[in-house]
Structure 1
Amino acid sequence: MAAQGLSVFQITPSSSATAQSSRKPFEQLLSFNLSNSFVGTELRVKPSSFGLIASKRFSSAVAIVSFSLPTTKTGLASDKKPKWSARSIKSFAMAELEARKLKYPNTGTEALLMGILVEGTSLAAKFLRENGITLFKVRDETVNLLGKSDMYFFSPEHPPLTEPAQRALDWAVEEKLKSGESGEITTTHLLLGVWSEKESAGHKILAGLGFDDEKAKELAKNMDKDIILSFK
């Protein structure tokens, strides 16, 4: 017997789930009626609802991130509009997430750097790791350089870019357009864009961890590739 004052929910198979015996067991489990005798309500739950909600959220997130990334640089005449690679888009999304984890109000060059390392599968990410630049080191250096945010502060869902971070993205687009090469803007373009901002937090962190112009030149040799290669 239920304790007095508590409403009790009962789960029973829905009529459609019982009728369709050919339905997969997992779908039968998710198709049910949720009833409450105390309030006299019934909620019918279908497996298709979960997939629809997840699909809409994923599509919305991708659209927002893709819209946030520039495809042309102001003042640069070109009929071409290069696209960002899937890895660079994910790196940007992870950068926003890292900024939110640290409760920062903006997505800076340091966050872009962390985003590349969180994504982790690109040529740029592997190059950084092979040179001793890891996510944990970058995160620690970020806190040492910029400090901790107030514990009661909450970042916006999509922290806006700082001016240096925006210029880093614009640099990546400009370099792609200037190259005249086909293909997409890669995470290597993104990383070298961060390096181009000499006074930014991202550049200072990279330099402090041993990244320099020679390493930038080495990485730039494969700027238009976004797959993991081996550097010997």
Structure 2
Amino acid sequence: MASHTLSGLPIISYRNSQSCHRNATDTDSPSPSPFSFSILLRRPKPHNLTTPFTGRKLSIRSLSSQRFVSKHRPAFATVLLSLPTLKPERASSDKTPKWSARAIKSFAMGKLEARKLKYPTTGTEALLMGILVEGTSIAAKFLRANGITLFKVREETVKFLGKSDMYYFSPEHPPLTEQAQRALDWAVDEKLKSGEDGEITTSYLLLGIWSEKDSAGHKIMASLGFDDEKAKELAKSINEDFVLTHK
């Protein structure tokens, strides 16, 4: 066995006994004998490309990774301008008050929470979680001040409704339950009854959930210490979200 070096890397050659005696021409001839073979251990050199404009070297690996990234589709977000209602005449009426941005975001976060828990519908419990996920409204701050947090509501929701099947996938937009839809319409009705200008705030949404006595959202709020007295206290600051937004 003989060992040679090519470009600083070892070449290990195995030959039979008949090829042990070599002459000077053996080193010039690249053709091995029929009874010999060679194993070459060599690390492949990176292939670099030089751009003609900047002179910067680009590796094949970086170019392929750029092509891979460009194949990803951009993420799109659905922007809601209003919330659903069972009264279609309200959707086209200019006199119907609009929902605040915080309330709309709370609604969207509620649907997302329903999907996270793999529920087929968006109930009052999901709307309650959505208010806490949004987190910046007067209603969310009022809940947290009274010890009602997202973790506790989520935990109570699983206890009350149970866990979904791990192999079940909820729809992209879980439809509202009848109780959740009534909570939204209650909020609009109360805003119209007040006769005040401005948007329908998240506080209206929370009190709408509380108005549905048989709903999961109401029962979860009650189990965590929310009662009619706290509802009256929240009602006093029901329009503050709009005032804070438009200062």
Partner SS, residue 181 of structure 1 = coil
**Which residue among 157, 161, 168 is the counterpart of 1:146?**
161
Shift of the 162–14 alpha-carbon distance from structure 1 to 2, 3 Å rule, reads farther
1:150 aligned partner, one-letter code? D
Equivalent in the alignment of 1:190: 205
Aligned residue in 2 for 1:164 = 179
Please state how far the C-alpha of 1:85 moved relative to its aligned partner. Answer: 0.9
Cα distance change of structure 1 residues 140 and 11 upon mapping to structure 2, 3 Å threshold: farther
In structure 1, what residue type is equivalent to 2:118?
K
Gapped regions of structure 2 (runs ≥ 5): 1-46, 56-61
Equivalence map 1:16-55=2 (5 Å): 34=63, 43=67, 53-54=74-75
Residue 70 of structure 1: which of 43, 64, 84 is its match?
A: 84
* Cα offsets for 1:146-188 (capped at 9, x unmatched): 0000000001111000000000001111111121111111110
Q: Which 5+ residue runs of structure 1 have no aligned equivalent? A: 1-9, 20-32, 37-41
Q: 1:122 touches 1:227 (CA, 8 Å); kept in 2?
A: no
Which structure has more relative contact order (CA 8 Å, sep 6+)? It is 1
CA deviation map 1:29-68 (0-9, x unaligned)? xxxx9459xxxxx95988xx99x945xx23xx01xx335x
Query: Which residue of 2 is the match for residue 105 of structure 1?
Result: 120
Rg larger for: 2
Once residues 222 and 11 of structure 1 are traced to their aligned partners in structure 2, the CA distance between those partners, rounded to angstroms, is: 66
CA RMSD of aligned residues (A): 3.6
TM-score, with structure 2 as normaliser: 0.68
More helix by share: 1
Q: In the alignment, which of 57, 77, 91 is matched to residue 106 of structure 2?
A: 91
Q: Percent identity?
A: 72
Q: CA 1:75/1:53 → structure 2, altered by over 3 Å: closer, same or farther?
A: closer
Match of 1:5 in 2: none
Query: Which residue of 1 is the match for residue 59 of structure 2?
Result: none
Alignment of 1:124 onto 2:139: yes
Secondary structure of the 2:209 match is helix
Aligned to 1:7: none
Contact 2:85 2:184 in 1 (8 A): no
Residue in 2 that maps onto 1:226: 241
Q: How far apart in 2 are the matches of 1:71 and 1:82? A: 13
Q: How many residues align?
A: 195
Following the alignment from structure 1 to structure 2, what is the Cα–Cα distance between the partners of residues 45 and 184? 42
Q: Match for 2:119: what amino acid?
A: Y
Are the structure 2 counterparts of residues 45 and 183 from structure 1 closer, same or farther at C-alpha, using a change threshold of 3 Å?
same
Over 3 Å counting, the alpha-carbon distance change for 1:106 and 1:43 in structure 2 is: same
Equivalent-residue separation in structure 1 for 2:219 and 2:84 (angstroms):
24
Q: Please give the TM-score of this superposition, normalised by the length of structure 1.
A: 0.72
Q: Distance in 2 between matches of 1:156 and 1:199?
A: 25
2-structure distance, mates of 1:195, 1:88: 16
